[in-house]
Amino acid sequence: MKILRRIFSRVFIFSLGIFIQLLWLFFVVFKLSEYYLPIAFVFNFVSLIATLVIIYRPGNPAIKMAWIVPILVFPLFGGIIYMISGGKGPKRKLVKALARSEEMVFPERASEAPKRLPASAGLGDPYIEGQCRYLLENGFPCYENTQATYFDNGRDAWISMLEDLKAAKRFIFLEYFIVKPGIMWDAILAVLKEKVAEGVEVRMIYDDMGSIGALPKKYAQKMRACGIQCVAFNPYRPVYSVVMNHRDHRKIMVIDGHIAYTGGINFADEYIGEDLKLGEWKDNALRMRGEGVRSMTLMFLHMWNAHIESDSPETVTRYFPREEDVRSVVSDGWIQPYSDYPVDNEPLAENVYLNIINQATDYVYIFSPYVIIDSEFQRALILAAGRGVDVRIVVPAVPDKKIVYHLTQSYFPELLAAGVKIYKFTPGFVHSKCFVADDRLAVVGTINTDYRSLYLHFENACLFVDHPVIREVKKDFEDTFPRCELLAEKKHRLGLLYGAYLSILRLFAPLM
């Protein structure tokens, strides 16, 4: 029965349709070129043009190379595929909708937060100030008086979420990559239905690809029938299109405008320790209260109004933190919630990470399930270790995706040789996405150190500067290191065949 369910599932049927389309295209190209020399010439010419376009276009060199190689190896087929899909961003309709929504939502944000640091922000370090200013220049304000609680596991975060959801009075916003029926989501959904019955406004965005194995096709309609306003981001369709690469990987929960959650956890049972297929699931989350929730609210409204135009510049402010809700919130340090989009040429998420690595003087600790990085990122880690910075990366010992896991391991020999310390979390899988450096900076959010997160997905995170939560993040690392295997350089040398296999994978890593 399980096999039959998989065969007749939406993901299997849709993926089979896409495979047949690609197979047919491949067959037509080669069949025609076999009999008609002029057609073969045309296809080769297309491949040449595609190569020149790739070289001319701005972008990451690794991604360019990942396209050029298959074009050179398969000159007939590779050029056609690139012309169809290469270098494509999200759907034009979505790009235009996001631009329209930005004009509506972001002027309010710009007006309430000029591009300067708070007057009391005596950071005392030009590099840290530069990091904050970089985010400010990209439209993400720096807030004081925002309390934050760091959760080093999903279960505690889930319990806290339920308490806050039950106390909601005005509205609830949810934006998540994965929604999967089970203990975690069923409990949240029950509260949402209760809140709708009480007159609380509930809006929800979920990524259709992220949830495709768990939710039926018309789940958004089912939610709307319950009174929950719901949108499925970029629905998965049985038609070959590169826009399927661009997913909403963000995790945002906003309650009444003054409480927000983000971090690595989605709504599925593995995130609360109820599904142990991969062993212990190591993850984290943040709860924020205070002025900084304003940016989290705007991020959600920006995406929401790109799909459903339900707000205006005049009505957006009703979702902001109320004065009576934030008046008593006092905290040291600063917080900058930010997001990254694949609709521009600004790799903001990667630049934030690179700034932290390049400016560190004492240590940089990193949680990430995947390490699939470009040469610039790799070089930054190597240089940091070379100048005496204690660089440590915690990765899973149990993989969720084996090919991606192999790719991650392909970077280990060079990093280990340079003095970067790599820890494998032996109890299971690490899904956390955190940076902490020099006891002054930390980033917690949804952004992995891989090409998808850094270039293809919609993501979000929070930068903390001199904030109490930084100590909590560092403690999580210190508690995790003893539970890991510290890899040794000599014991992690690659065999000839395995090394060749990894070299091929590395070549195509930006397209995976």
Average pLDDT, rounded, for the chain: 84
| Residue 213 structural domain | 92-119+145-331
Looking at 306, 331, 356, which one is the last position of a domain? 331
In a domain, 132, yes or no: no
* pLDDT classification of 409: cutoffs 50, 70, 90: confident
Whether residue 33 has pLDDT greater than 60: no
Are 32 and 156 found together in one domain? no
- The 10s digit of each residue's pLDDT in 235-264 is 876 555 555 678 899 999 999 999 999 999
pTM: 0.86
- The DSSP element (H or E) to which 437 belongs, if any, is strand 434-437
Distance, in Å, from the CA atom of 127 to the CA atom of 210, rounded to the nearest integer, reads 37
Q: Evaluate whether residue 140 is within a structural domain.
A: no
Q: Is the pLDDT of residue 488 over 60?
A: yes
Q: Which of 91-105, 233-247, 459-473 has the lowest mean pLDDT?
A: 233-247
Residue 320: inside a domain, yes or no? yes
Write the pLDDT tens digit of every residue in 40-69.
Answer: 666 666 666 666 666 666 666 666 666 666
Checking if the pLDDT of 278 tops 70, the result is yes
Poorest-confidence range of 30-34, 90-94, 242-246, 439-443? 30-34
Q: Which of 410, 404, 396, 400 is nearest to 367 (CA)?
A: 396
- Asked if residue 129 belongs to a domain, the reply is no
pLDDT above 70 as % of the chain: 74
Neighbours of 26 (CB within 10 A): 15
Q: Examine the domain organization and report whether 408 and 321 are in the same domain.
A: no
At 100, the pLDDT band (50, 70, 90 cuts) reads confident
Per-residue model confidence (pLDDT) at position 296 = 95
| pLDDT at 114 (0 to 100) | 43
**Chain segment 137-152, per-residue pLDDT in tens:** 898 999 988 999 999 9
Band (7; pLDDT cuts 50, 70, 90): very low
What span, in angstroms and rounded, lies between the C-alpha atoms of 482 and 479? Answer: 7
Are 180 and 287 part of one and the same domain?
yes
Q: Which of 155, 162, 367, 182 is nearest to 265 (CA)?
A: 155
> Does residue 344 register a pLDDT over 50?
yes
Same structural domain, 166 and 298: yes
pLDDT, mean of residues 1-30: 56
Is residue 336 included in any domain, yes or no? no
Same domain, 404 and 302: no
The domain that contains 392 carries what CATH number? 3.30.870.10
Q: How many domains does the chain divide into? A: 3
**Residue 253: both structure tokens together:** 């929960």
**Angstrom distance (rounded) from CA 85 to CA 96:** 19
Contact, 263 vs 442, CB < 8 A?
Answer: no
Residue 204 main-chain phi, psi, to 5 deg: -145, 135
User: Cα dist. 269→60, 178, 398 in Å?
Assistant: 36, 11, 17
Neighbours of 433 (CB within 10 A): 25
How do residues 280-339 score in pLDDT, each as one tens digit?
Answer: 999 999 999 999 999 999 999 999 999 998 888 778 888 988 888 788 888 889 999 999
**287 in the same domain as 190:** yes
Residue 128 belongs to a domain: no
Give me the phi and psi of 146, to 5 degrees please.
-130, 110
